[in-house]
Chains A and B, each alone.
Chain A
């Protein structure tokens, strides 16, 4: 059974940093692209970033470029999102998601981690 479990969320002040982790199990992690998708409170879904199987390619939404970094550790079956220079508008539930083997839609999602940026 595919499982994705996020951790590392919490309250952080504007301008601060936070690192989210996602522990993957139930599939060959190193064979899949992975994604982060976020959802602000009461709002819709927003794709944040994708990373290739070996980490050699990454893509970001413009609003986080230069501030967020997606990375992975295939030996540990883990996905990460380093978030720097956080802003109030980054407040959201952040979902870790597995990209399908063929195209960049997400076929499995974690339960999400809440990040709140507030003073």
Chain B
């Protein structure tokens, strides 16, 4: 199985900050990577697919980049509603696997 490693596991930031989360795959996955946002007690929400394509309705302050084994999710100007946990997922091969998550907390 492809292992997905996210870093950091948590971070503290302030509204207006630029935040970057990284995700590394244990083997090359091309651009077959998605990012999800999850708030406490809620279902995950798709933010980005194909490593850099924004899902319809997702604010443009979210962006994704990378290919192969190294990927990043960037929030350009953190808003209050962005405090949540973020997960990457590879869909290059079965079993589909997620990163361990990055919790973005208020500083």
User: Residues on A close to B: CB < 8 A?
Assistant: 37, 44-47, 50, 59-62, 95, 100, 103-112
Contact = CB atoms under 8 A, between A and B. Distances in A.
Contacts of B50: 103
Interface of B is mostly: loop
A95 B91 contact: no
A105 B91 CA distance: 6
Interface in B1-53: 1, 32, 34, 36, 38, 42-46, 49-50
Contacts of B45: 109
Interface of B: 1, 32, 34, 36, 38, 42-46, 49-50, 55, 87, 89, 91, 94-101
7 contacts: A45-B87, A47-B95, A50-B96, A62-B95, A104-B91, A105-B49, A109-B43
